Amino acid sequence: MEKRKLGRSDLEVSAIGLGCMRSSAGHGAVAGTKQEMIAVLRGAVDRGITLFDTAQVYGPFVNEELVGEALAPVRDKVAISTKFGFQFDTTSDPHPTGLNSRPDYIKETVEASLKRLRTDRVDLLYQHRVDPAVPMEDVAGAVKELIQQGKVKHFGLSEAGAQTIRRAHAVQPVTALQNEYSLWWKRPEEEILPLLEELGIGFVAFSPLGKGYLAGTVTEDTTFDKEDNRSTFPRFTLEARKANRALVDAIASFAARKNVTSAQLALAWLLAKKPWIVPIPGTTKLERIEENIAATALELTPSDVRELDKLTSTFVVTGDRYPEEVERMTNR
Q: Is there a catalytic annotation at residue 105? A: no
CB 52 within 8 A of CB 79: yes
Q: Which tens digit of pLDDT belongs to each residue from 306-331?
A: 999 999 999 999 999 999 999 999 99
E strands, 37-173, are 51-53, 79-84, 86-89, 93-99, 124-127, 155-158
What CATH number is given to the structural domain containing 289? 3.20.20.100
Q: Which tens digit of pLDDT belongs to each residue from 20-60?
A: 999 999 888 898 999 999 999 999 999 999 999 999 999 99
- Quote the domain boundaries for residue 281: 3-327
Res. 82 pLDDT band, cuts 50 70 90: very high
CB 215 within 8 A of CB 203: no
Residue 92: per-residue pLDDT:
64
pLDDT(152) > 70: yes
Residue 203: per-residue pLDDT:
98
- Sign, CA dihedral 212-214-217-221, equals positive
Would 301 be classed as within a structural domain? yes
Would 229 be classed as within a structural domain? yes
Tally of domains in the chain = 1
Would 225 be classed as within a structural domain? yes
Give the active site residue among 58, 105, 126, 181. 58
Q: Distance of CA 162 to CAs 130, 165, 255, Å?
A: 12, 5, 33
Q: Which tens digit of pLDDT belongs to each residue from 265-312?
A: 999 999 999 999 999 999 999 999 999 999 999 999 999 999 999 999
pLDDT(94) > 80: no
Terminal-to-terminal C-alpha distance of the chain: 35
What percentage of the chain has pLDDT greater than the value 70? 99
Q: Which tens digit of pLDDT belongs to each residue from 240-272?
A: 999 999 999 999 999 999 999 999 999 999 999
Would 332 be classed as within a structural domain? no
What percentage of the chain has pLDDT greater than the value 90? 95
| 3 state DSSP class of 279 | strand
Res. 91 pLDDT band, cuts 50 70 90: low
Residue 323: per-residue pLDDT:
95
